[in-house]
Amino acid sequence: MADIHPLRCKSQDPSGEDFIRKNKEASERCKLMLKEGQAPMPRMSHLSSRDYQNVYEPSDDTFLLMDALYLDYKKDADDESNHDLISLEVGCGTGVATILLGQILRATGQTNNRFFHFLTDINDDALRIALATAKENSIPDEDIKSYNCDLASAFLEDSTALNLPSTCPSLRRNVDILIFNPPYVPTPDDEVGSNGIQASWAGGKDGRVVVDRFLPQIPELLKENGVCYMITVDDNYPEDIAKRMLTSFNIVMEPYLRRKAHNEYLTVQKMSRIR
């Protein structure tokens, strides 16, 4: 497995004109990918309409996030190096982004590689469905584990204090690939924080209430060369997020894939440490 794919940018200042240019580059990258082929969808036929009453059904944001992972990691399918890799998907929903990643990585066929995929959600139905979907797509049970917790707290705090299994590992500065499709829709703040399907979209003021709580966890989780993929919409003021990540955490954030969906622009923001 090749090294993870951190950002390599000449300018790390997320100024207005620079961010606009990078948005355009992300849109062009997305158009090119549409021509070359998007990410394949994991099998979902085991789920029913009743399941989607309790968990967020994969939609345009999910597909864009999967495309970003596919674009970065499909190229490693023939790499013969040994590499233990840890991924963490926060707020996993159906878990299809992680399941796609697991399929791509296992396509290497390298028996010495070990892959550890962790999922979190505050919705028990989401975790149940994600694990069932992993099984449906032949992801081994030992490769994927799920935890009911707030954001990534299970991996950064004392697991016993959170009533989590003692086997819950610390992932502090140990994550290669961090995935987050947050609740980004601007809503009244009092709609944020449920433990049902509403938690998958209700983002509070500017769609930033949950996002802003997660941002400080990113540098705590990422390995030195780890990468975070996070969905935003323009209502979230992503340029402001990029400035905060740079000034507060020495994390570079750049638009990676960008696509219009209905009345909004979805963007996969890609983050890595300054090196």
DSSP letters spanning 154-214: GGTS-TTTTT--TTPPP-TT-EEEEEE----B---GGGTT-SSGGGGTB--GGG-HHHHHH
For the domain that residue 238 is a member of, what is the CATH number? 3.40.50.150
Domain of residue 53: give its range.
16-273
Report yes or no on 3 lying in a domain: no
Residue carrying structure tokens 């990113």: 218
Report yes or no on 7 lying in a domain: no
- Say if strands 85-90 and 115-121 run parallel, antiparallel, or are unpaired: parallel
Number of domains composing the chain: 1
Q: For the chain, what percent of residues have pLDDT higher than 70?
A: 85
Confidence of residue 145 (pLDDT cuts 50, 70, 90): very high
Report yes or no on 175 lying in a domain: yes
In this prediction, residues 227-256 reach a mean pLDDT of: 96
In this prediction, residues 180-185 reach a mean pLDDT of: 93
What angle do the packed helices 60-73 and 96-106 form, to 10 degrees?
20
CA distance 218 to 220: 5
CA distance 130 to 145: 10
Report yes or no on 204 lying in a domain: yes
Report yes or no on 65 lying in a domain: yes
Report yes or no on 255 lying in a domain: yes
pLDDT tens string 46-97? 999 999 998 999 999 999 999 999 999 987 655 555 568 999 999 999 999 9
- Measuring CA to CA, which residue among 47, 5, 14 is closest to residue 246? 14
Q: Is the model's pLDDT at 192 over the cut of 90?
A: no
The predicted model scores a pTM of 0.89
Q: First and final CA of the chain: distance in angstroms?
A: 21
In this prediction, residues 199-216 reach a mean pLDDT of: 90
